[in-house]
Chain A
Amino acid sequence: MKKYVYIILLILGVCPSIILAGGFQLNEHGAKPMGLGGAFTAIVNDASAVYWNGAGLSYLEGTNFLIGAAIIAPSTSFRGVTPAIEKSTMKSQTFLPPHFFASHKISNDFSVGLGVSVPFGLGTKWREDWMGRYLAVETELQTISFPLVISWAILENLSISIGGSYSFAEVLIAQSNSQTPFAGDAFVHLEGDDKSAFGYNAGIMWKPSKDLSIGAAFKSEVDYTFEGTATTTGAEQLASLLPQGNISAELTTPMNIQGGIGYRVIEQLQLSADFQWVGWSSYDVLAVDFEDPAYDDISRPRDYEDTYAIRFGAEYFLDKQLAFLGGIYFDKMPVQPEYLSPSLPDADRMGFSIGVDAKIFENFGVSGSYLFIRSSELTVTNSREIYTPYEEGNEESASKFNGTYNSSASLLSFSLTYNF
Chain B
Amino acid sequence: MKKIIISLSLLSIIALAVIGCEDYNDLTAPGLNLGSADFTRFVSIGDSWTMGEQSSSIFESAQMYSFGNLIAKQVGTTYAQATFSEPGTAGRLEIVSLNPFTTYTNPEQGTPTNLTYPAPYNNLGIKGAFLVDVLNARSANTCYTANFGSPNPLFNAVLRGLGTQLELTIAQQPTFITLWIGNNDILAFASRGGLFPPTDPAVFQTQYTQVLTALNSTGAKIVIGSLPNALAFPYFTTVGPSVGLKLQTIPGVQGLVYQTTGAPGIALAVPTDLINKTVLITLSGSSAANYIGDTNGTYYTVNGIPVPPGVNTAFPFGLTPENPFPNNLVLDPTEIAAYLQLRTGYNQIISGLAASFNYSVINWDDLFNSLASTNGLPVNGINFSAIYVTGNFFSLDGINPTSQGYGIIANEFIKATNNKYSASIPLVDVSTIPGSLVFK
Q: Does B380 contact A (CB under 8 A)?
A: yes
Q: What are the 8 tightest A-B residue pairs by CB atom distance, in nearest-first order? A: A398-B381, A390-B381, A388-B431, A180-B435, A370-B15, A394-B381, A372-B18, A85-B27
Q: Once bound together, how far apart are the Cα atoms of A4 and B10, in whole Å?
A: 9
Contact B392 A182 (CB under 8 A): no
1/0 per position for A385-420, CB-CB distance to B under 8 A? 010111100110111000010101010100000000
Number of interface residues of B (CB under 8 A): 46
- Verify A324–B392 contact, CB threshold 8 A: no
- Judged by a CB distance under 8 angstroms, whether A251 is at the interface is no
> Contact check: which of B15, B30, B378 meets A410 at CB < 8 Å?
B15
Within 115-139 of A, Cβ neighbours of B (below 8 Å) are at 131
B28→A85 contact, CB < 8 A: yes
Which of A101-109, A293-301, A327-335, A348-356 is the contact stretch?
A348-356
Chain A nearest Cβ from B401, distance in angstroms? 11
Q: Which of B1-9, B116-124, B144-152, B306-314 contacts A (4 or more CB under 8 A)?
A: B1-9
Give the contacts of B9-26 with A (CB-CB under 8 A).
10-12, 14-15, 18-19, 21-22, 24-25
A389 touches B381 (CB 8 A): yes
CA distance A377 to B402 in the complex (A): 38
Which chain A residues have a beta carbon within 8 Å of chain B's beta carbons? 1, 4-5, 8, 12, 75, 77, 79, 81, 83-85, 131, 178-185, 235-238, 318, 321-322, 324, 352, 354-356, 358, 360, 368-370, 372, 374, 377, 386, 388-391, 394-395, 397-399, 404, 406, 408, 410, 412
Cross-chain contact B11 with A410 (CB below 8 angstroms): no
Partner of B10, one of A8, A360, A398: A8
Chain A residues positioned under 8 Å from B15 (CB to CB): 354, 370, 372, 410, 412
Contact assessment for B4 and A388 in the assembled complex, using a CB-CB cutoff below 8 Å: no
Most buried by B among A180, A235, A390: A180
Whether A397 lies near B380 (C-beta < 8 A) is: yes
A408 and B22 form a contact (CB under 8 A): yes
Q: Are B29 and A237 in touch, CB under 8 angstroms? A: no
A75: chain B residues within 8 A (beta carbon): 22
Assess the A388–B7 pair: CB atoms within 8 A: no
The complex places the Cα of A261 from the Cα of B49 at a distance, in Å, of 73
- Measured between beta carbons, the chain B residues less than 8 angstroms from A374 are 21-22
Q: Say yes or no: A356-B8 contact (C-beta < 8 A), given A79-B27, A372-B21, A406-B24.
A: yes
Instruction: Enumerate 6 A-B pairs (CB-CB under 8 Å) in ascending A order.
Output: A181-B437, A183-B436, A184-B434, A184-B439, A388-B431, A410-B15
B382 and A377 contact, CB distance less than 8 A: no
Which single residue of chain B is at the shortest CB-CB distance from A408?
B22
Question: Is B110 an interface position by the 8 A CB rule?
Answer: no
Across the interface, which residues of A come within 8 angstroms of B7, CB to CB?
Answer: 4, 8, 322, 324, 356, 358
CA–CA, A404 and B24, complex, Å: 10
Q: Does B108 count as interface, using CB distance less than 8 angstroms?
A: no
In-complex Cβ contact of A235 among B25, B30, B439 (8 A): B439
B389 at the binding interface (Cβ < 8 Å): yes
Residue of A83, A185, A368, A399 near B431 (CB, 8 A) is A399
Contact assessment for A178 and B380 in the assembled complex, using a CB-CB cutoff below 8 Å = no
Alpha-carbon distance between A412 and B432 when the two chains are bound, in angstroms: 40
Complex CA distance for A185 and B380, rounded to whole angstroms: 19
How far, in whole Å, are A388 and B8 apart by their CA atoms in the complex? 49
Q: How far is the CA of A236 from the CA of B95 in the complex (A)?
A: 11
A185 to B404, CA, bound (A): 15
Smallest Cβ-Cβ distance to B392: which chain A residue? A181
Q: In the assembled complex, which residues on chain A have CB atoms less than 8 Å from the CB atom of B6? A: 1, 4
Known: A181-B437, A321-B3, A394-B383. A399 touches B432 (CB 8 A): yes
Distance to closest chain A CB from B305 (angstroms): 29
Q: Is B438's beta carbon under 8 Å from chain A?
A: yes
Asked if residues B404 and A181 are in contact (CB atoms below 8 Å), the reply is yes
Would you call B14 and A370 a contact (CB within 8 A)? yes
Chain A residues within an 8 Å CB radius of B429: 388, 399
Chain B, residues 82-124, CB within 8 Å of chain A (1/0): the string is 0000000000000111100000000000000000000000000
